[in-house]
Amino acid sequence: MARNKHPEETVNRILDTAFRLFLENGYERTSIQDIVDNLGGLSKGAIYHHFNSKEDILAAVTDRITRESNQMLLDIRDRAGLTGREKLKLIFKVALDRPAQDQLFMVAPDFSRSPQMLYAVLRETIDDAAPHYILPIIEQGIADGSIVTEYPAELAELLMLCANIWMNPLMFGSTVEQSRRKFLLFRQMTQNFGLDILDDGLISRLMDLAQLYEDRQ
Amino acid sequence: MARNKHPEETVNRILDTAFRLFLENGYERTSIQDIVDNLGGLSKGAIYHHFNSKEDILAAVTDRITRESNQMLLDIRDRAGLTGREKLKLIFKVALDRPAQDQLFMVAPDFSRSPQMLYAVLRETIDDAAPHYILPIIEQGIADGSIVTEYPAELAELLMLCANIWMNPLMFGSTVEQSRRKFLLFRQMTQNFGLDILDDGLISRLMDLAQLYEDRQ
């Protein structure tokens, strides 16, 4: 094989293929050889040049998925002229409005077929998204008086656990109606905490995404 | 080896050993051979006599863990003379007061080392505990006027997701202080929903369990 002058492209091809296979067949049932077979011409050695193990590939796959999302979180977190409460709402709106969400809901099979993928999302949510993006926004909200809570770090975790895992139709294969009821209970819970996260427009957007997922079942 | 006259004892020995190894070394890093090596004299054939695969053993391990817990849930669910709201509180109290909880918190390593174990708890929580035990209690509470919600099934899931996964120190290796703050936010959330689940006594019991876990780290 000709020497690859664009290692980043190779890495991205490997990650595209690995991600698709992990979701379609499950992480455990996907071997490095399966990834090679689906890469059309890339050797096993080329993969091992970039990754030490399948675990390594999984880590890179989830890193890449969350990087784009994290950049968006960062932009809103550090924006001037908004209260903490407004930023929290905006984050949910921007995250859901991205066209990439439609692709994900149309393409991604049920995460429940891959415990490792679900687990990776769970850990990323608790170890990264909640403390580094949501917590600073809640702390700003406490400082500017727009959010009242004694438990900012825990509230950040609880919100993101609901949003990324429990309310995510991809995680438990929820129907549109089940999803709608989860969104409404989540809205009630957040309103009880004095937060204003899901308005009717966002609930309708969430149901469109849940519908994209249901249509493929 | 002499023919085993007590197949149930053999099964329990296999499950004891498998459970310990899954928790200590992770499910993926445990092979059937590792289980054999730790069983002192039992052959691989004896294991395959009872189980088709490692997945099969994992399913039996989690079944056994939840069976005792489910029997307790069942007893309270079907008890006469209590409102739904009272039953919901009692379930948390009885579940936490069992001496088996101390053992679990003293012995079980961090579930986060085994995505499959965490995933099994998550699925059991959403697919079994919430709909079969907590939901009927909430529905009774709605009928007897002690609980008010438009989303009984979703509330059951949210409560159990918090209790079994998020607030469980074994799942995320939380410190006692992190656990305490989760318990207090959970209490606030449930009070906001008009529920009365964690009183000071239960929070203190929860912190004792979190302490047992922290002492071993």
| Min Cα separation B135/chain A (Å) | 14
- Percent of chain A residues topping a pLDDT of 70: 92
Do the beta carbons of residue A203 and residue A180 sit within 8 Å?
Answer: yes
| Min Cα separation A9/chain B (Å) | 30
In chain B, which residue's Cα lies nearest the Cα of A187?
Answer: B151
3-state SS, one letter per residue, for A174-201:
CCHHHHHHHHHHHHHHHHHCCCCCCCHH
Closest CB to A154 among B28, B165, B181 = B181
Q: Is a pLDDT exceeding 70 seen at residue B106? A: no
Give me the DSSP letters along chain A: -PPPS-HHHHHHHHHHHHHHHHHHH-STT--HHHHHHTSSS--HHHHHHH-SSHHHHHHHHHHHHHHHHHHHHHHHHT-SS--HHHHHHHHHHHHHH-HHHHHHHHHPPPGGG-HHHHHHHHHHIIIIIIIIIIHHHHHHHHHHTS---S-HHHHHHHHHIIIIIIT-HHHHT--HHHHHHHHHHHHHHHHHTT-----HHHHHHHHHHHHHHHHH-
pLDDT score, position B116:
80
Give me the DSSP letters along B68-125: HHHHHHHHHHT-SS--HHHHHHHHHHHHHH-HHHHHHHHH---GGG-HHHHHHHHHHI
The mean pLDDT of chain B is 88
| B123 neighbourhood in chain A, CB within 8 Å | 112
Closest CB to B192 among A151, A178, A192 = A192
| A114 neighbourhood in chain B, CB within 8 Å | none
Q: Do B158 and A189 touch (CB under 8 A)?
A: yes
Closest CB to B116 among A115, A189, A192 = A115
Nearest-CA neighbor of A184 among A168, A167, A159? A167
How far is residue A204 from each of residues A16, A92, A120, A210, measured CA to CA in Å?
30, 13, 28, 10
Q: Is a pLDDT exceeding 60 seen at residue A2? A: no
- The interface predicted TM-score of the complex, written ipTM, equals 0.80
Q: Do A158 and B161 touch (CB under 8 A)?
A: no
- The alpha helices in chain B, defined as continuous H runs, are 7-25, 32-37, 44-50, 54-77, 84-97, 99-107, 115-124, 135-144, 152-160, 169-172, 176-192, 200-215
Question: How big is the CA angle at A94 (ends A87 and A107), to the nearest 5 degrees?
Answer: 145
Q: Is a pLDDT exceeding 50 seen at residue B52? A: yes
Closest CB to B118 among A119, A178, A188 = A119
Average pLDDT (A12-41) is 88
**Residue A130 binned pLDDT confidence (cut-offs 50, 70, 90):** very high
Q: Do B155 and A185 touch (CB under 8 A)?
A: yes
Average pLDDT (B6-35) is 87
Number of Cβ within a 10 Å radius of residue A82: 17
Cβ neighbors of B9 (< 8 A, separation 6 or more) are: none
In chain A, which residue's Cα lies nearest the Cα of B161?
Answer: A166
> Measured in whole angstroms, how far is the alpha carbon of residue B174 from the centre of its chain?
17
Substitution target in A158, A195, A203 with the highest count of B β-carbons within 10 Å is A158
Substitution target in B117, B158, B206 with the highest count of A β-carbons within 10 Å is B158
Q: What is the pLDDT of residues A161-196, one digit of tens each?
A: 999 999 988 888 788 999 999 999 999 999 999 998
Q: Do B151 and A185 touch (CB under 8 A)?
A: yes
| Min Cα separation A119/chain B (Å) | 6
Characterize A97-106 residue by residue with b for buried, 16 or more Cβ atoms within 10 angstroms of its Cβ, and e for exposed: eeeebeebbe
A–B CB contacts, 8 A cutoff, strictly below: 73
pLDDT score, position A42:
86
Highest mean pLDDT among A207-211, B154-158, B213-217: B154-158
Q: Is a pLDDT exceeding 90 seen at residue B67? A: no
Q: Is a pLDDT exceeding 80 seen at residue B182? A: yes
User: Could you give the CA distance from residue A15 to residue A2 in angstroms, rounded to a whole number?
Assistant: 20
Q: Do B154 and A193 touch (CB under 8 A)?
A: no
Higher pLDDT pick, A24 / A160: A160
pLDDT score, position B5:
64
Domains and CATH numbers, chain A: 1-51 (1.10.10.60), 59-216 (1.10.357.10)
